Each structure stands twice: as structure tokens, then as C-alpha cells.
Amino acid sequence: MSNLERDPQETQCGGGVGVAVAAAPVREVLSGRDVPLGRFAVVRRFLPHGQRRMVGAWCFLDYFGPEDVAGRPGMRVPPHPHTGLQTVSWLVEGEVLHRDSLGSRQAVRPGELSLMTSGHGISHSEESPGQHPPILHGVQLWVALPDAYRHTEPGFEHHPTLPVLHESGLTATVVVGELAGARSPASVYSGIVGADLTLGPAAQARLPLEPGFEYAAIVLLGAADVDGVALAPGSLLYLGTGRSQLALHAGPRTRLLLLGGEPFEEQLVMWWNFVGRSHEDIVQARQDWAGGHRFGTVRGYDGDPLPAPPMPTTRLKPRGRHR
Ligand code: MN
């Protein structure tokens, strides 16, 4: 997935910029905003949010669908670059074909994790295959790489099998990182968790958490009560830190995405599809993409690569925007 906005703004985050990490359990309900993704789809963006830029190292969260793509092209995201991050693709329903500049060509299907580590630079495309299921529904997330790893070699991993926890009507698939002692095989570079939680009929569960992590949850299907807050699709519930467990209950057929991680202490600059540490990092990445350097070539996508939008004419001050 790509940020396809024509006029993206630089966003500063991490390191307590904007709203600081909540030092205690909180319940902040944040609405996502609709963002066009090319001509064919609208996604709901939850992160970065004006009031909450990151949750741990999670710095970007787009939710799409459920959308009827029967007889339509579906997802068409042309080759575009990334730096300084990992992309996590996770589907509830449907199928997406991933291609990247390392030569990877991988079908992304529900319950299987596709994880791309951009390191210093990679490019990829994402599209609905020619013959695709009628519904497209899922999320794409970005994880910011800590400074020590942001120039690492790029990589792509596909994990069809992930650890699953069962507890009091709750089934948790550990997509990324660690939850209640179960660890995903995905490569990660900071203390983090991303888990898909399925709640059975009338489930009442207490999920063990790491008190040093901050957490947030969104609903993928159905509706749930999360720590006493009625949560429906369209909102993200930020939960803060200092929790050793989370109370969950739900009606039938509910799925949640739980995100968490150790608070990300480094300040970041995000613009378009790049995560850097300074305005200059972003300018350089944009120049490298425009000049055909650093990000390789995606083969097999039927269409032109995405051109980088123009840089914003203003440069953000180091402290970024406060709300
Ligand atoms: Mn992308």
C-alpha cells in the first residue's frame, strides 16, 4: 500500500512530539479519516492521526473494505518506494499480489503475513490479481525502523503460519512481535506486537499485556467492548501504557486488531512513503526515486511507477505540529 495523496504533508512523530505517550491506562477514541487510494478505492487512515501519531513503532495504519471488487480492477497500487520502515499486509478477506524490487512475487491471502523491510530502499507494487475474490478487506501498516536499522538491507518475508493463542473464547493470532509468550516468526527491530483477535459468541476474555508497551485496538469485524468502551469499525481506541491485561467482550463474529509496542523514543519525519529523521533525508529519498536510484525496479506490473508528489513548500520546525 502506498500513500497516494497528491499533496502529502510532512508529519513529525515519535519522541514525544505532538501528544506524548500516555504514562497510564487511558481510553481515547480516535476517528479515522477517509483517504482516496487511486481511482478505485477509499481507505480509512487511523495513523498518523492529528492527536496520536504513533503507537509504539506503528506509524501508519490504513484500513480498507470490506469492498465489493467483483468485476472491477480492485486494488491497483503502482510501483512506489519506501525507506526507513517495514510494511505489514494483513487481509481479512480477498487477495492481493505483491511484487517488489528484490524480485519477490507473492500472493497475500487472509491469515498469512506479508512483511517487507525497506531498510535503506525498496520499491513494490500491490494489485488485485486478474482473477480475484469478490471482497477486499484488510489493513496495511508501517513499522518505523529504529535508527540503528533504518539503513539495513531490504527484505521480504511471507509467513503462512503464525502462532495462535486460545483463551476464554478468544483466539489470538500473533502477526508480529510477541503476545503472552507467543512470538511471531516475523523479523522485528523493536519491542512490538500486532495481533488479530477473534472473539467467540459472548466471549469474556482478559488478554495479558506488557505494562511497558502502549496499545491501541481497532475493530475489523463486528463490534466489541474493549476495557468498557463500545468499539465499532471506524474508530481506533488508544489504550496508553501501564496495563497488565485487557478486558474484552463481544457479540458473535467479532475480530479486533491489537497493536502495541514500546514507546518510540526517536523523532521521525514522515512524508509520502518515506520515514526519515530530517527534512534532508526526505528530500534525498525523493530525489533518488525521481532519478531512478536506490529503490530498484519492480518487474511485471502493468503500468507506470508512481511519481513522487512535489515537496511541500514549507519546512516543518523541528518540534512539529502540536494540537
Ligand atoms: Mn507501499
169-184 pLDDT per residue, tens? 899 999 999 999 999 9
Spacing, Cα 294 to ligand 1 middle (Å) = 16
Check pLDDT > 60 for residue 18: no
Please write the tens of the pLDDT for every residue from 250-302.
Answer: 877 899 999 999 999 999 999 999 999 999 999 999 999 999 999 999 999 99
204-208 sheet: strands from edge to edge: 204-208, 245-250, 224-226, 229-231
User: Chain centroid to CA 192: how far?
Assistant: 12
Residue 319 pLDDT class (50, 70, 90 cuts) = very low
- Cα 76 to chain centroid, rounded: 18
Q: How many angstroms separate the alpha carbon of residue 186 from the centre of ligand 1? A: 18
Q: How far is the CA of 263 from the centre of ligand 1 (A)?
A: 24
Q: What is the pLDDT of residue 323?
A: 30
State the average pLDDT over residues 71-90: 96
| Residue 65 near residue 55 (C-beta atoms within 8 A) | no
102 or 11, greater pLDDT:
102
Q: State the cell numbers at 136.
A: 477486499
Order of strands across the sheet that contains 155-159: 33-37, 41-47, 58-68, 135-144, 85-93, 113-117, 155-159
pLDDT band with cut points at 50, 70 and 90 for residue 7: confident
Residue 149: phi and psi, rounded to 5, are: -120, 0
Place of cell 518510540: 264
CA of 118 to the centre of ligand 1 (A): 10
| Structural contact between residues 199 and 226, judged by C-beta atoms closer than 8 angstroms | no
- Residue type present at position 221: L
Q: Say how many Å lie between the CA of residue 89 and the centre of ligand 1.
A: 9
Percent of the chain with pLDDT over 90: 79
pLDDT the model gives residue 321 = 32
Alpha carbon of 156 to ligand 1 centroid (Å):
12
131, exposed or middle or buried, with CB in 10 Å at 0-12, 13-18, 19+?
exposed
How far away, in angstroms, is 73 Cα from ligand 1 center?
Answer: 18
CB distance 59 to 53 below 8 Å? yes
- pLDDT over 70 (residue 14): yes
User: How many other C-beta atoms can be found within 10 angstroms of the C-beta atom of residue 197?
Assistant: 26
Average pLDDT in the 38-44 region? Answer: 77
Q: How far is the CA of 297 from the centre of ligand 1 (A)?
A: 14
Per-residue pLDDT at 194: 98
Pairwise CA distance, residues 123 & 103, whole Å: 10
- Per DSSP, the three-state class of 242 is coil
Of residues 168 and 246, more confidently modeled: 246
When the pLDDT of each residue in the chain is averaged and rounded to a whole number, the result is 91
**13 and 59 Cβ atoms separated by less than 8 Å:** yes
Give DSSP secondary structure letters for 149-169.
GTTSPPEEEEES---EEEETT
